[in-house]
Amino acid sequence: MTKNKNNFSIYWIYAILGVGLIAFQLFMGKKDHSSVKIQSLLEIADESGVKNVVIINEKSVEFQLNSNGVDFVKKSDNKDLKDIAKTIKGSKESDKTNIVFEIKQVDQTYLSQKLDDKGITVEYEERIDYFGTILSYLLPFVIIIAIWIFVMRRMSGGGASGGGQIFNIGKSKARVYENGKTTNVTFSDVAGLEGAKEEIVEIVEFLKNPSKYTELGAKIPKGALLVGPPGTGKTLLAKAVAGEAKVPFFSLSGSDFVEMFVGVGASRVRDLFKQAKEKSPAIIFIDEIDAIGRARGKNNGFNSNDERENTLNQLLTEMDGFGTNSGVIILAATNRADVLDGALMRAGRFDRQIYVDMPDLNERKEIFEVHLKPLKLEKDLDVDFLSKQTPGFSGADIANLCNEAALIAARNDKKQVEKQDFLDAVDRIVGGLEKKNKIITPSEKKAIAFHEAGHATVSWLLEHAHPLVKVTIVPRGQSLGAAWYLPEERSITTTEQILDEMCSALGGRAAEELIFGKISTGALSDLEKVTKQAYAMVSIYGLNERIGNISYFDSRGADMFTKPYSDDRARVIDEEVSKMIEKQYERALDLLSKNKEKLTDLANKLLSNEVIFKEDLELIFGKREWEAEQKESKEKLSTQEEEKLSLVEPVESVDDHTEVKREEKKSQEKKPPSSNTEEINEEDLND
């Protein structure tokens, strides 16, 4: 068992000493002093009851009473003298004439004259309070130093381990998991990441059983870099490693190295690796490493402080420098691998780059099964259906979807989460919050209905457009109407497919022009999407005949502020983009003109019901002929693949060759930019 750390702070000692000094100053020399008024002194002096009078520092007066003064005070009816009598009464008989009474802030000239008239001698005395004088000088400095220490502690991490004190500002702020301390996350909690999980598990197994690998001459990987879009499970994998590994695990973020003081980042890197080496074998996990790992030498003019570069240089040296670094494995995660420095990405530092992609259909099903466990579900809930309804969703999106469905069910006072709750949750996440109380005029509502009906009509009549799920004119989020589609999960996209999607997106504006003879601003998101697709086709994917097989895309982002083509070529690109978009717009107009009556019926039905589904379009347009053909071709392909698999016997050389081909395919698939691919392959919301 680990011993509990002593949380006692030395600042408590400082506080006690300070209070003690102040108390000593306040109460020092205050024995038997009672404050009275000057008139009381003069009354007692008239009765010859004053023993002696001393004026101190020409400011205050101290005097004592004799036996006559004590008797006079006891017999007097004066209120002020009664207070003096009370003081005397509480004293011993032998001390009654030794009590010192004090008068503060008096006119010593006036008092001396009055007492001389009464025949009483006045003495003068100068007293110096050395302790109070010293304390009055020291106390402001003590307060200033205390405030300075407090501020510096807050600036350096607020008392966190390793960085809480000003003198420990260069210490690492990593959280350490060891001696049975875990994150309570295991590999069983990670679903849908089989490829990435396999490589991560291998690193953990190497630490647990190194002889299995070292007997064959293998060396443990020095580092693994997890790359992928946000929400795909990179940090979750690292948490699983911390939960499974039986070695010390250091976890921190890339921003933990960044500080306002120069040299702190590099110092923290040195301290981190020093701690890890002392406890080796160990694992270091740096989340969001792009905070310190950005490529050096870019845009130095915009940043005069090179603190981040110094931190990166120190990290590079520690990972694979002149010194030895045995027994320390580096895990890192980022969704911006394109901005990382080339020296950081080389073998010997990060030997493995594990790409954590968006989950496919089967992986989404596995993720759903993990997140559905804590929910109270209806019987026979179709998980396959849920996974088909969520293309393009990440693991984090699915977790949010399950939670949102449970909240919707609770809002409707249900005892269990049903299928409809999940569909409502999808609508809530994709489209936004439903706004039924939004004020819309009848003319606007009619325009919205025909706009959405135009999208639905064109997408239904085109072969390669995404299948329609639902159309609504109920305002959601920032949109006044929406059309939901179910995108096909494609590995590649052809020119015909992109053009059909562009035509479908322009169907809304085309319907407005056809029916009303005028257009509105409601097609903003459609135009934005279509423009991005057109520019991607022409300048990135090489899908334009005039431009040819040329791509101006730079995956490393080296030419951020410069164009890789001339002004003449830029004008040609703009012309081709404009021509392509206008052609698809005319195509949409032509389709809607031929089916104007069906478009009107669909819009009227949408106006009356506010929401229409795929079944409503089938009643008006009939079933799509391409869906049956696609279904037959898929079934035929699946049966052919099964037959091939049954005939093929496992041969070692064939498996190796297949694996090589698979790796080549993966590397080819990584080349297109993820953002543009998503724009082309996914169509969630049109308005």
Most confident segment among 377-386, 584-593, 647-656: 584-593
The enclosing H or E element of 334 equals strand 328-334
Helices (H) and strands (E) in the chain, counts: 26, 14
User: In the numeric block, which tokens belong to residue 244?
Assistant: 């499974």
Judge whether residue 593 has pLDDT over 90: yes
> What is the pairing mode between strands 175-177 and 352-355?
unpaired
- Rounded to an integer, what distance in angstroms lies between the CA atom of residue 624 and that of residue 462? 9
First to last CA, the chain: 60
User: What does the pLDDT look like over 160-185, one tens digit per residue?
Assistant: 444 444 455 666 667 787 766 777 78
Across the chain, mean pLDDT equals: 76
User: Could you give the strand order of the β-sheet that contains 100-103, starting from the edge strand earlier in sequence?
Assistant: 33-35, 100-103, 60-65, 50-56, 122-125
| Choice between 50 and 508, residue whose per-residue pLDDT is larger | 508
- The model's pLDDT over 431-451, given as tens digits with 9 standing for 90+, comes to 777 777 777 888 888 989 999
328-334, strands of its sheet edge to edge: 175-177, 249-253, 282-287, 328-334, 223-227, 352-355
Grade residue 24 by pLDDT with cuts at 50, 70 and 90.
low
Predicted pLDDT at 647:
37
Length of the chain: 687
Question: What single letter denotes the amino acid at residue 206?
Answer: F
CB count within 10 Å of CB 87 equals 16
User: Does the pLDDT value for residue 157 go beyond 90?
Assistant: no
Highest mean pLDDT, choosing among 45-49, 51-55, 268-272, 561-565: 268-272
Three-state DSSP class for 166? helix
Q: Which of 195, 198, 191, 199 is nearest to 233 (CA)?
A: 191
Q: Can you say whether residue 347 is alpha, beta or left, with left for phi > 0 and alpha for psi between -120 and 50 degrees?
A: beta
Q: HSE (CB half, 13 Å, CA atoms) of 138?
A: 10
pLDDT surpasses 80 at 94? no
Question: CB–CB of 367/390 below 8 Å?
Answer: no
Q: What percent of the chain has pLDDT over 90?
A: 15
Query: What residues contact residue 299 under an 8 Å CB cut-off, 6+ apart?
Result: none
Amino acid at 581: I
Q: Which helix (H) or strand (E) holds 62?
A: strand 60-65
488 is catalytic: no
Which tokens is 610 given?
């506010």
Q: What is the mean pLDDT of residues 476-495?
A: 80
Identified catalytic residue from 309, 452, 576, 683:
452
Amino acid identity of 641? E
Short-list 531, 512, 522, 546, CA closest to 686: 522
Task: Express each pLDDT in 643-687 by its tens digit.
Answer: 443 433 333 333 333 333 334 434 443 333 333 333 333 333 334
Q: What percent of the chain has pLDDT over 70?
A: 69
- Whether pTM > 0.85 for this model: the answer is no
The answer to whether 256 and 268 have CB atoms below 8 angstroms apart is yes
In this prediction, residue 258 has a pLDDT band, given cuts at 50, 70 and 90, of confident
- Residue type (1 letter), 88: I
Would the pLDDT of 458 be above 70?
yes
What is the distance between the alpha carbons of residues 676 and 607, in angstroms, rounded to a whole number? 35
Phi, psi of 496 (to 5 degrees): -60, -40
d(Cα 313, Cα 321) in Å, to the nearest integer?
Answer: 10
